[in-house]
Structure 1
Amino acid sequence: MIGFILRLLGSVLFVSFIVGTLVFMLLHLVPGDPVAVMLGDWASPADELALRTQLGLDLPIWQQYWHYLTGLVQGDLGSSLFYQQPVADLIGERFPLTAHLAVMSLLLAILIAFPLGIWAALRAGRWPDHLSMGVSLLGVSIPNFWLGPMLILVFALWLGWLPVSGAQQPWSWVLPTVTLGTALAAILARMLRASLLEVMHEDYIRTAQAKGLSSIQVYGRHALFNALLPVVTILGLQLGTLLGGAVITEVVFDWPGLGNLLVESIQRRDYPVVQGCILVISVAYISINGLTELVYAWLDPRIRLAK
């Protein structure tokens, strides 16, 4: 287990270095000047030169890259060109909101997907199965950038039940959570149904039925527990994606999370913030995948023995 944790830390460091380098290079290749964005079109060349020197953008690319790497090794993500604040502070303010939205969306997806997937598997080939899979197919097919505005139109503007955007008002999290959670619920429901159908034909399920165990014991204790293995993998991958910032959903609902900060910083050519956001997203994704592998090993003793 210690070796696994060390490999995980090594993967985090290696991927963080690769991602940081690629993002740094790509951002400096993209057309656009942060100084021009900050000062506007009517700024004088002297003002632009002074600000460029102050921000260190007059240095050669290799020197800017070296300063970025040395700061990263020391845990310093730099300072925002636009906000004039440490990038770590900006991310620290926004990340809890993204994490809150991700966890709420994941819980909603589980609450919807598990009853739907189990119901479909137990009634395979009959109308509950077709209805459940039709609903899940609809959830997968509807894109977030369409579902979000429709929810705003119906529940915020027409009915007036929920806030339109932001995170300041009570129940502000409901609409973005539903927007993110429905698509994830559809994926989980289909995966759980397929996994249950595969497990229900195994020999140990027939043995449990032959022993006279109740349906709850057979399907709840034996079938469902073993069917969770691929579902856990999907949950880990999706949670990493959600924690990375559901960019479209955060922009649609003006949710002040990490995804919204990333989009704003890209528009402003705020290099340090963009680099910091993507770096945090990468580390979160790798870490959650590692934790998912630990849970997978707990569910399947064969993996523990192999390690």
Structure 2
Amino acid sequence: MSVLSTIDEPAVITSAVSTPRPAFTLLRTILYRFASALFVLWGTVTITFLVLTTLPGDRATILLNITSGQAIERTPEELAPINALYGFDRPVLEQYVHYVLGLLRGDLGLSYELQRPVLSIIAEQIAPTFTLAVSALVLAWAFTVPWTLLTAGRGRRIGSVGSATETIMAGLPQYWVGILLLIVFAVQFRWFPVIGGTGFAGTVLPTITLAIPLAGFLGQSIRSEFDRTMHEPFVLSARARGMSRAGVRARHVLRHALIPGITLSGWAIGHLLSGTVLVETVFARPGLGSVLVNAVSNKDFALVSGILILNSFLYVVINLIVDMIYLTVDPRLRSAT
């Protein structure tokens, strides 16, 4: 055995042992993101419980007043059965454990006003809201990608027009856009119904209302990354190999520029789910938005907390999916954690 082989062999073994395999690195990253998502959900549930237990006013009194329709003072004799039934008289820690265990079983509690399980109320209304949010996200992307390819990285004048358009779109208030679309296309032109429904015609205007500001935010985040990527060495290399300028922009530059937009999409879903409150009110559209408004006005804390927890759950799950897409688009990020 030569001296050279004696020296090099342990180094090769050490390098092979110390360098993690790509599959292991990806699995570790996925587990880390999953653990972070669970921690966020636990924090949301805990904060929601603390808010419910520390709100001013007695929960049993509020429940009785909602049920009877009379806002009056209640005697201890009247409150005792309610406190025993809902566990309001138990220690806070015991209430917290019971609350968390109920959530793990899918029990979001009982609506104070409707006297129905919160989960069943949400199940009836989540489809229109989720459909509206997803449609708005798809429409925003459908506008953003062609607009970025058309205006980004094409000189200062065209880039300024594209950036100014995105800034204006991002700054438009959703309720103002909704009212304007309603007046023009529903009242004057009568192309769409004034009172929105769950059908295609009743979904078009609410979808556009949510998609316009979101497209502005997505365009701003993608444009800056697109302009930066245009100066990367691999762009010059691709052009030197004979690829057309349009091909480089669409196949290489756009892929890197989409990463901030993909990350922003996770936030966008949570924003859209909360933004539907105003849009569903403007268009008189069924969904979680109108249910949440009624629950807040009637102090139906069980229903409000159930909707908030569900929104948080969807937000975390979608962000987890976005993280996985993020790692697929740019494999270099798999070793970031």
Q: TM-score range by the shorter chain?
A: 0.7 to 0.9
- Whether 2:159 is the aligned partner of 1:129: answer yes
Instruction: Find the partner of 1:78 among 109, 118, 122.
Output: 109
SS of 1:132's equivalent? Answer: helix
| TM-score of the superposed pair, with normalisation by structure 1 | 0.88
Matches within 5 A, 1:7-86: 7-31=32-56, 33-41=62-70, 45=74, 49=79, 52=82, 56=86, 59-60=89-90, 62=92, 64-86=95-117
* CA displacement at 1:171 relative to structure 2: 0.8
Q: CA deviation at 1:53?
A: 5.4
Alignment match of 1:231 (pick from 261, 280, 296): 261
Answer with 1 or 2: which has the greater Rg.
2
Distance (whole Å) between structure 1 residues aligned to residue 218 and residue 279 of structure 2: 20
Distance 1:2 1:213, change over 3 A: closer
Q: In the alignment, residue 98 of structure 1 is paired with which amino acid?
A: T
> Per-residue deviation at 1:123?
2.5
- Superposed displacement of residue 42, structure 1: 7.0
Give the 3 Å change call, closer, same or farther, for CA 17–208 of structure 1 in structure 2: closer
* Count of paired positions: 306
Shift of 1:54: 8.3
Answer yes or no: is the 8 Å Cα contact 1:105–1:178 preserved in 2: yes
Question: Are residues 39 and 150 of structure 1, via their aligned partners in 2, closer, same or farther at CA, if it must alter by over 3 Å?
Answer: farther
TM-superposition CA deviations, 1:118-161 (whole Å, max 9, x none): 222142312x3333222212111111122212222222222222
Q: Match for residue 316 of structure 2?
A: 286
- Greater Cα offset, 283-292 or 3-12: 3-12
Aligned 8 A contact 1:95 1:257 in 2: yes
2:139 is the alignment partner of 1:108: yes
Deviation at 1:164, TM superposition (A): 2.2
Q: Secondary structure at the match of 2:192?
A: coil
Rounded to whole Å, the distance in 2 between the matches of 1:58 and 1:24 is: 12
Where structure 2 has 5 or more consecutive residues not aligned to the other structure, the ranges are: 1-25
1:295 matched residue in structure 2: 325
- Cα 1:21–1:104 change in 2 (3 A) is same
**1:195-249, Cα deviation, whole Å (9 max, x unpaired):** 1110111111111112221122211111111222212111222123324563222
Distance 1:306 1:146, change over 3 A: closer
- Corresponding letter in the other structure for 2:326: Y
Inter-partner Cα distance in structure 1 for 2:235 and 2:99:
57
**8 Å contact from structure 2 (residues 226, 253) kept in 1:** yes
Unpaired runs of at least 5, structure 1: none
| 2-structure distance, mates of 1:50, 1:153 | 53
Does the C-alpha gap of structure 1 residues 110 and 206 become closer, same or farther in structure 2, counting only changes over 3 Å?
same
Aligned to 1:171, the other structure's residue is in SS state: helix
Distance of aligned partners of 1:9 and 1:190 in 2 relative to their CA distance in 1, 3 Å threshold: closer
Give the RMSD, CA atoms, in angstroms.
2.7
Q: 1:42 to 1:108 in 2, by over 3 A?
A: closer
- Alpha-carbon distance between aligned partners in 2 of 1:103 and 1:161, rounded to the nearest angstrom: 23
- 1:14 deviates by 2.8
| 1:26–1:225 Cα change, 3 Å | same
More moved, 40-49 vs 290-299:
40-49
Picking from 269, 272, 277, the partner of 1:242 is 272
* TM-score when normalising by structure 2: 0.81
Query: Contact 1:113–1:189 at 8 Å: present in 2 too?
Result: yes
Residue 36 of structure 1 and its aligned partner are, at CA, apart by 2.1
Inter-partner Cα distance in structure 2 for 1:57 and 1:252? 39
